Amino acid sequence: MKSSCMRYSLVLLPLTLSALTLTVLFARTRPLPYPTMPIDSSSHVQIDFIPDKLDKPVDDDNTKYLAYLPHSGFANQRTELVNAVTLAIHLNRTLLIPPLFLGHVEGWQGEGKLWDTLADLTDPVRRLECSTSQDHDDEMCQRYDRFAMLRWSWACDLPLLTEKLGVQYIERRDMSLTALQASLGIKEDEIYKMTDLHPYAWDLRGQNLPLSHNPRYLAHYSMDDFRVPHKVLHLYGVFGEGRVTTDATERDAIKEILVFRNTDVQKTAFKYVETLGGVDQYVSIHIRTGDGVFRRTLASRIPMAIERLHRIIGDQREPVTNDLQVDTNDRLQWCKEHAYLGRKYSIIFVATDARDPRQDLAAVFNEFPCAVTLSDFSKSWLEQLKQASSIDEYKSIDRWLLTFVDAEIAQQARRYIPSPGSTFSGYIGAIHRQRQGTSYM
Ligand SMILES: Nc1nc2c(ncn2[C@@H]2O[C@H](COP(=O)(O)OP(=O)(O)O)[C@@H](O)[C@H]2O)c(=O)[nH]1
Ligand SMILES: [Mg+2]
């Protein structure tokens, strides 16, 4: 008890200091009331968005809330949500789930910048203005063009969180603290704001577990350290696998619920899977190329990818038949007819964020004549995605759904090779293993 109190004050002191220094950042002025946004009627959302403006506070009971700031790509956002759901369960708080961002989303930011970044990205007034603006030089409007803002309940069956794990949640749309205060009818000091000064500022272990010693994280907390009395405990980023550890079975159950499942995406992917020969009839590889470290290291990773493909299809000792011309008009049909030539002609699906895969990953396609990627098929195959596409309030989202078509095709393969260091690759691997029943999430 005593040590827990001590730890509590140890957490509180630096947090309070950082909260104090950052208070000035939170003092956002924003005209109220906000415009009303159209809400998609097909949603499974269990408790609706926090309304932008309420006549009276949402709760007159003892409900306490947990919030956090999302960032980065899908897999990162998903890991954050998994961690946040875990914390909500053990702290007995209603989870305020942020929007799901697809496309170009800001990465983690220091110096408390994420607070303002998220408020800006989700600002309903600016988003509405930009949706009708003709000013193509407006920097904020250009930023909005680079991502879509959806709801997690659109991508996953969130009510299962309540049914299976007892988690209460509300989906948030405006991430500003002023909107949060207005929605809950609370004062600023009822929000306990935690501002991490480092992406791996802390990790946490659940009840009955010893504190972590993981050197990646700067501070190590127990669940009790997070039992603050405030109405809202608002965390900063909660990124990282292994950051919040409680019970492995519980974590698997959360992860299983938080899998991207969209019927239009699945139906679209299935057409490709059938053409590739059917479920478990081909090999897949994920090659992440698009940004940051992945772009810089691509040249050295391509030979590794080729080597792994050779090993997995098992063609190493086969003589190479060089003089055959593949029919590029119907590559897969040609490959199926020439399968007797050897395993080098195995069908391989390459999932990638490369802009021009046949050029950017030329070495892979030169080595494996029967390797194909989404861009090898007619664009008309993607028509169905348009049906899933009017979910963002202001724009169509087909281009960002391609990621999940790629993931779905890759996970239906017999063998799957991930891209080292990519959390999205890890996500595909997890759903692939789960489908094959070899291990859990
Ligand atoms: N179209 C497409 N996009 C991809 C693919 N792999 C990754 N991406 C994009 O890159 C992002 C990956 O970011 P994130 O989920 O944070 O994983 P990480 O950066 O690879 O660790 C995804 O959200 C996509 O936008 C792919 O195979 N196809
Ligand atoms: Mg990323």
For strands 191-193 and 202-205, give the pairing.
Answer: unpaired
Burial of residue 26 (number of CB atoms within 10 Å: 0-12, 13-18, 19+): buried
Q: With a 6 A CB cut-off, is 289 part of the ligand 1 pocket?
A: no
Distance 290 CA to ligand 1 centre (A): 8
Ligand 1 pocket, 155 CB below 6 A? Answer: no
Q: Which of 80, 265, 403 to mutate to test the pocket of ligand 1 (most atoms within 8 A of CB)?
A: 403
Ligand 1 in reach of 73 Cβ (< 6 A): yes
Tally Cβ neighbours within 10 Å of residue 223: 19
Tokens standing for residue 46: 């269990």
Tell how far the Cα of 76 is from the centroid of ligand 1, in angstroms. Answer: 10
Q: Say yes or no: CB of residue 353 within 6 Å of ligand 1.
A: yes
Which ligand lies nearest the alpha carbon of 401? 1
Name the residue with the closest Cα to ligand 1, atom 1. 403
First-last CA distance in the chain: 35
Round to whole Å and give the CA distance between 430 and 78. Answer: 13
Which candidate, 157, 156, 155, 159, places its Cα nearest to that of 47?
159
Strand order in the sheet with 202-205: 219-222, 202-205, 244-245
- Tens digit of each residue's pLDDT (9 = 90 or more) over 366-416: 999 999 999 999 999 999 888 776 667 677 888 899 999 999 999 999 999
State which ligand 1 atom lies nearest to the alpha carbon of 423: 21
Architecture of domain 263-436: 3-Layer(aba) Sandwich (3.40)
Q: Which of 139, 195, 152 shows the shortest CA–CA distance to 24?
A: 195
Cα four-point dihedral sign 101, 106, 112, 115: negative
Q: Token pair of 214, please? A: 């993981």
Task: Establish whether residue 196 lines the binding site of ligand 1, counting it when its CB lies within 6 angstroms of any ligand atom.
Answer: no
Give residue 253 CA to ligand 2 midpoint distance, Å.
Answer: 23
**What is the 338 CA–ligand 2 centroid distance (Å)?**
39
> How close is the Cα of 342 to the center of ligand 2, in Å?
37
**Strands of the 232-234 sheet, one edge to the other:** 169-171, 94-97, 65-67, 232-234, 191-193
Calpha distance 126→145 (Å, rounded): 12
Residue 211 CA to residue 205 CA, distance in Å, equals 6
| Ligand 1 centroid – CA 21 distance (Å) | 35
Give the single-character DSSP code of 102: E
Q: 349 CB less than 6 Å from ligand 1?
A: no
72 lines ligand 1 (CB under 6 A): yes
Per-residue pLDDT of the chain (441 residues; tens, 9 = 90+): 334 433 444 444 344 333 333 322 222 222 222 222 233 333 322 223 333 333 344 555 789 999 999 999 999 999 999 999 999 999 999 999 999 999 988 899 999 999 999 999 999 999 999 988 877 788 999 999 999 999 999 999 999 999 999 999 999 999 999 999 999 999 999 999 999 999 999 999 998 899 999 999 999 999 999 999 999 999 999 999 999 999 999 999 999 999 999 899 999 999 999 999 999 999 999 999 988 888 888 989 999 999 999 999 987 666 666 667 888 888 888 888 888 888 888 999 999 999 999 999 999 999 999 999 999 999 999 998 887 766 676 778 888 999 999 999 999 999 999 999 999 999 999 999 999 987 666
State the CB neighbour count (10 A cutoff) for residue 3: 9
Sign of the C-alpha dihedral computed for residues 92, 98, 104 and 109 taken in this order: negative
Pocket test residue of 80, 424, 428, 432 for ligand 1, highest count of atoms within 8 A of CB: 424
Task: Indicate which residue's Cα is closest to atom 4 of ligand 1.
Answer: 353
Long-range contacts of 361-367 (CB under 8 A, 24+ apart): 361/287, 361/289, 361/302, 363/302, 363/303, 363/306, 364/285, 364/287, 364/302, 364/305, 364/306, 364/309, 367/306, 367/309
Amino acid at 165: L
* Cα 419 to middle of ligand 1, angstroms: 11
Whole-number Å distance, alpha carbon 406 to ligand 1 midpoint, is: 10
How many residues are present in the chain? Answer: 441
d(CA 201, CA 36): 37
Residue nearest to atom 27 of ligand 1 (CA): 352
The number of the ligand 1 atom at minimal distance from the alpha carbon of 288 is 6
Q: Which amino acid is at 423?
A: T
* Ligand 1 atom index nearest CA of 73: 16
- For ligand 1, say whether the CB of 78 is within 6 Å of any of its atoms: no
DSSP for 155-196, please give it: HS-THHHHHHH---EEE-S---HHHHHHHHT--GGGEEE---
H/E/C letters for each residue in 274-286?
Answer: HHCCCCCCCEEEE
Q: So where are the chain's domains?
A: 2-257, 263-436
402 touches ligand 1 (CB under 6 Å): yes
